[in-house]
Amino acid sequence: MNHTLLSTPSARPAGSGLAWLLEDFVNRVPGAEGALLASRDGLKMAVHNLTETEADRMSAVMSGLFSLARGVGNIKGDNDGLVQQIVIEHDAHRLFVMSAGSVPSDGTTPAAIGELLGVLSSPEADPGVVGYGMAQLVNSVNEHLQTPVRRSTGDGQ
């Protein structure tokens, strides 16, 4: 694996939120075509190189895949584990989804629901390079990857 392609992210542009990290990732990782950061329940947080429609679709797919993948632990009754990564290989693209941000695993009600990092790549992209780059990105900014739990106002809205 060529780790030189996955150098440290460049300096952060002012006022760019987390989208600059996704742009830097797509520019640095061979085969990466677009990236999306979304809450685990499908709310888009940051996007690079995807149209609004593509980002909406990808966010919904990522959320659904994550929800389904959580069921893997239920097969043998092991509910304590977390989904680390999901890879879908399609003729036209590969979709990588990685858990990002941390949530309590002690059964308490979380103050945050965590996020998902999704990367759409060409089918020729090296899955090891993309996965390594995603893990590197998540580990470097993990403390910023949490979505506060949205609470009802109690007035029916």
Q: What is the pLDDT of residues 72-83, one digit of tens each?
A: 878 887 777 778
Which candidate, 130, 116, 134, places its Cα nearest to that of 46?
A: 116
- Residue 41 inside a domain? The answer is yes
- Tell me whether residue 8 is in a domain: no
* pLDDT band, residue 86 (cuts 50/70/90): very high
Please check whether residue 9 lies inside any domain of the structure.
no
Asked if residue 10 is part of any domain, the answer here is: no
**Residue 32 is assigned to a structural domain of this protein:** yes
pTM as predicted: 0.77
23 has pLDDT over 60: yes
SS (H, E, C) the chain: CCHHHHCCCCCCCCCCCCHHHHHHHHHHCCCEEEEEEEECCCCEEEEECCCHHHHHHHHHHHHHHHHHHHHHHHCCCCCCCCCCEEEEECCCCEEEEEEECCCCCCCCCCCECCEEEEEEECCCCCHHHHHHHHHHHHHHHHHHCCCECCCCCCCCC
Number of domain units in the chain: 1
pLDDT at 56: 96
- Inform me whether the pLDDT recorded for 66 exceeds 50: yes
Cβ neighbours of residue 146 under 8 Å, at least 6 residues apart? 101, 102, 103, 112, 113, 114, 115
Where in the sequence is the domain holding 101, given as residue range(s)?
A: 17-75+82-144
CATH number (domain holding residue 135): 3.30.450.30
pLDDT at 97: 97
